[in-house]
Amino acid sequence: MTTDHAIGTAPEAAKAPANGGPILEVKNLKRYFDVTKGVFAKPLSVKAVDDVSFSIQHGQTLGLVGESGCGKTTLGRTVVKIYEPTGGTVHFMGEDVTKLDAGGLRRFRKNMQMIFQDPYASLNPRMTVGEIIREPMDIHGLGTSRDREERVQELLRTVGLKPDHIRRFPHEFSGGQRQRIGIARTLALNPRFIVCDEPISALDVSIQAQIINLLERLRDELKLSYLFIAHDLSMVKHISHRTSVMYLGHIVETAESLALYKTPAHPYSQALLSAVLSPDPDKAARKKRILLQGEIPSPMNPPPGCPFSTRCPMARKICTEAIPELRQVGDREVACHLV
C-alpha cells in the first residue's frame, strides 16, 4: 500500500519517532468507580485499575492479559481518556494527557485511536461504509471533501476491502470484514498509537489469523504502536513484544513475551499460563496444570496486601500484610514478595 500521509499528518506526529523515548508512559494510574448502595450507605468504590505503571516503545506492541473483571478494558479506556483517571499520569509522546484541555484532547485523539471488541456493535448500522470511515476526518476537518473521498478509497484497499464497498452498509459484511471497516476508520486520522480491545475475540477462528496478520502488517508499514488487550493468551504471545499480566486491577508481571511464556515468575502468571491449552494432544496430555482454588475477590473489597494472596499456593504472612510493588527482577518487572 502507499503510505501517503498527506492528510492528517500533524507536525507532532512527524517528529515523534525521532526522540527515542517511549511513545506511551503510564505511571501509578488509578481508576475507581463509585458505587453507592442506598442513601445512607457509606460510599464504596470499585478499584478497577489500581496503581498501574507501564510503558510502550515506538513501533512495539504491549499485550495485556488477565481474566474477565481484572480491569484490562478499564485500563485501555482510561489510557485513551474515555474514562477520566482517578489518579496517576499518562504521558503520550512526551505530553501529560491527564492535564489536556479540550483542544489538546482533540489533538491527542487524532494520534491515539481505539479498535473495539464487537464489530457488530461498533459500526453505526445506518451509515454507509464510506461515511463511517470518513467521519473522523470530517470531525477533525482534514483535507477537502475530495481528499477525504480519496483517502477512504485508499484506506479500504489498505485493510483488504474493495473500493466499491464504499456505498454498502455494515450489515452486508461478515464479522471479519466489519472488523476491517473498524480498523480503516481507526486509521483514518493517521494515529501513532492504537488501543486494540479484544479485536479478535468475536471472530471465527479461521478469520482471527487474517485480522492478526493485518494488524501486524499495519504496525510495520505505518510504524504504529499497540496496546493489545485480549484473553486469548496464544494470540497475545504471537503479536506482542512485551506482555503484562493483570490481576484485580494490578499489573503483577511485565516481561518480554517469549520470556514470560517460557518462565513466568509471578505465581498468578504461572497458573494463568499453565491453563492455556495446546492444540496438540500429546503436549496437552503431558502438561501440568496449576488449578487455582477459590474465586477472584470482589474489587469492591480487595484483600489487604497482595491482591492474589487469597488464592496463591505460595502465600505467606507478609503477602496478607503489604501490597507488593512492581519492581525490576532480572529481565522483567514482577509484583511479588517471594520473587
Q: How far is the CB of 21 from another protein (least distance, A)?
A: 27
Q: Return the sign of the alpha-carbon dihedral for residues 14, 20, 24, 25.
A: negative
Instruction: Report yes or no: 30 and 50 within 8 Å, Cβ to Cβ.
Output: yes
Among the residue ranges 116-124, 135-143, 149-157, 202-210, the one whose residues contact another protein (CB under 8 A):
202-210
Among 3, 28, 124, 213, binds another protein (CB under 8 A): 213
Instruction: Report yes or no: 158 and 215 within 8 Å, Cβ to Cβ.
Output: no
Helix ranges (H only) for 263-322 are 267-274, 281-286
Q: How many residues bind another protein (CB under 8 A)?
A: 44
Binding residues among 137-166 for another protein as defined by CB under 8 A: none
Burial 57-87 (b: 16+ CB within 10 A, else e): bbbbbbbbbbeeebbbbbbbbbbbbebebbe
Nearest to 76 by CA among 107, 42, 52: 52
Among the residue ranges 132-140, 144-152, 254-262, 331-339, the one whose residues contact another protein (CB under 8 A):
254-262
Q: How far is the CB of 250 from another protein (least distance, A)?
A: 17
* Contact map string, positions 17 to 46, toward another protein, x by CB under 8 A: ------------------------------
Binding residues among 44-73 for another protein as defined by CB under 8 A: 67-68
Asked if residue 220 binds another protein (CB under 8 A), the reply is no
Q: Which is nearer to another protein, 223 or 241 (CB)?
A: 241
The 225-229 sheet, strands edge to edge: 112-115, 193-197, 225-229, 61-65, 242-247, 250-256, 332-334, 327-329
* Cell reading at 126: 445506518
Among 16, 188, 200, 271, binds another protein (CB under 8 A): 271
Q: How far is the CB of 284 from another protein (least distance, A)?
A: 4
Binding residues among 168-187 for another protein as defined by CB under 8 A: 174, 176-177
Q: How far is the CB of 296 from another protein (least distance, A)?
A: 8
Q: How far is the CB of 262 from another protein (least distance, A)?
A: 7
Asked if residue 258 binds another protein (CB under 8 A), the reply is yes
69: left (phi over 0), alpha (psi -120 to 50) or beta: left
Residues 6+ positions from 329 with CB-CB distance below 8 Å:
265, 339
Nearest to 310 by CA among 246, 248, 265, 244: 248
Among 113, 186, 208, 254, binds another protein (CB under 8 A): 208
Give the SS3 label for residue 31.
strand
Asked if residue 260 binds another protein (CB under 8 A), the reply is no
Number of Cβ atoms within 10 Å of the Cβ of 196: 25
Residues near another protein (CB under 8 A) are 67-68, 174, 176-177, 204-210, 212-213, 231, 233-235, 237-238, 258, 261-262, 271-285, 287, 289, 291-292, 295-296
